Amino acid sequence: MRISRLLCVAAFALAAALVVPVASANVRWGETATIAPANAGWGRMASLPDGRWLAVTTRFNRDAASTLVISASDDRARTWKELATVAEEGRKIDNGELIVLPEGRVLLGMRSLIDGKSYRLNVHASDDAGRTWRFLGTIDRNESPRGRTDRGVWEPVFTRLPDGTLSVLYADETLADGTPSYNQVVSQRLSRDGGKTWGERSVLVAQPGGGKLRPGMPVMTRLQDGRYLLVFEICGEDKHCPVSTKFSPDGITWPQGLGTALADQRCGPQVMTTTRGTVFVTSCQNEVSWSDDNGAHWQRVATPAWPFGFRHSWPAIYQLGPNEIGVVNGVAPGTVQIRFGTW
């Protein structure tokens, strides 16, 4: 009898353990909210210390260069109000990215360009929760592309490391004229003064020996075990740009090569680790994948947040509550929305 009870207890414990990842995959998608209603794209968010959310979207102006719009929400991303517009005279800006530093300063990264003449990754700062902005510095630039439109720097993404160092990852075409030639690589720079100045470039992902492949659109997250997971696309041979992954012990030291393919995701990946340790990934495939073992194994959420298949809609994913996530996406025509889900 005692053995039987022990077996029952063991079976129950095993069953309970097996239920955990299944529950994580069972995301129930619900309501949506509009962040930017028209002429908009590329939405990214960050939470303020007081619990409010900021969002940056690109506004495509009919008779002027594109600008970035900062919006705020004080009701868990359900309603949004425009706070500010950020522009750079004579330059097209896009790929906005926000990060909130511990003291409350907000940084806004972006790509800023004059076609064929000047490509920059610039940083602006706000010390009043996004209401006003000032130019802070430049991460990287190419001021002599010789008329080329494929010699730029793109899609900066910030991560704050445990010692306070600020990391930025970005897609980098400036090594295309070298020997060997790299069509595009994933680069990283580090700042130890809050984003004012940036150190030397490190190349994290490149086609071995050079070539036409285009690793890019990198994003990383810190895992529950302390390591870092990098997700990025590889364009070139496949026009839909399959997604790959790499791991790092510290967010700075990365293995060479093109990483490991991640199923169900293509083009423009985004990654996020929840406070419970579940990792979520989405991309322009508009599927959501999850892992409960620090990225060792992945499963696809049965129902996508936005069921319109592959589209260059540039989604991003965030945790909004203990078991609530949201997927921000560019929804035609020119509207940026967020859909909420519980897991």
Residue 22 is predicted with a pLDDT of 40
Tell whether 12 is covered by a domain: no
**pLDDT above 80 for 10:** no
pLDDT digits (tens, 9 = 90+) for 115-172: 999 999 999 999 999 999 999 999 999 999 999 999 999 999 999 999 999 999 999 9
For residue 241, CA distances in Å to 134, 244, 289 come to 35, 10, 17
Residue 25 is predicted with a pLDDT of 58
Tell whether 17 is covered by a domain: no
CATH number of domain containing 308 = 2.120.10.10
Q: Where are the beta strands (DSSP E) in 268-334?
A: 270-273, 279-282, 288-291, 299-300, 316-321, 324-331
**pLDDT above 50 for 181:** yes
pLDDT digits (tens, 9 = 90+) for 86-95: 999 999 999 9
Distance CA 329, CA 314 (A): 6
Tell whether 322 is covered by a domain: yes
Residue 332 is predicted with a pLDDT of 84
Average model confidence (pLDDT) across the chain = 93
**pLDDT above 90 for 51:** yes
**pLDDT above 90 for 9:** no
Tell whether 282 is covered by a domain: yes
- Run of H or E including 208: none
Tell whether 7 is covered by a domain: no
CB-based contacts of 84-91 (< 8 A; 24+ apart in sequence)? 84/126, 84/130, 84/131, 84/132, 84/133, 85/59, 86/110, 86/124, 86/133, 88/112, 88/122, 90/65, 90/114, 91/65, 91/118, 91/120
For residue 213, the SS3 value is: coil
Tell whether 3 is covered by a domain: no
Tell whether 20 is covered by a domain: no
Mean pLDDT along residues 220-225: 98
pLDDT band at 68 (very low <50, low <70, confident <90, very high): very high
pLDDT band at 251 (very low <50, low <70, confident <90, very high): very high
Domain of residue 121: give its range. Answer: 27-342
> For residue 284, what are its two tokens?
């322009």
Question: 139 near 121, Cβ under 8 Å?
Answer: yes
pLDDT digits (tens, 9 = 90+) for 314-341: 999 999 999 999 999 999 889 999 999 9
pLDDT digits (tens, 9 = 90+) for 22-35: 444 589 999 999 99
Tell whether 311 is covered by a domain: yes
pLDDT digits (tens, 9 = 90+) for 283-323: 999 999 999 999 999 999 999 999 999 999 999 999 999 99
Residue 15 is predicted with a pLDDT of 36
Distance CA 200, CA 190 (A): 8
Residue 26 is predicted with a pLDDT of 84
Q: Where are the beta strands (DSSP E) in 236-283?
A: 242-248, 260-266, 270-273, 279-282
| Domains in the chain, number | 1
Residue 148 is predicted with a pLDDT of 96
Distance CA 193, CA 172 (A): 23
Residue 339 is predicted with a pLDDT of 98
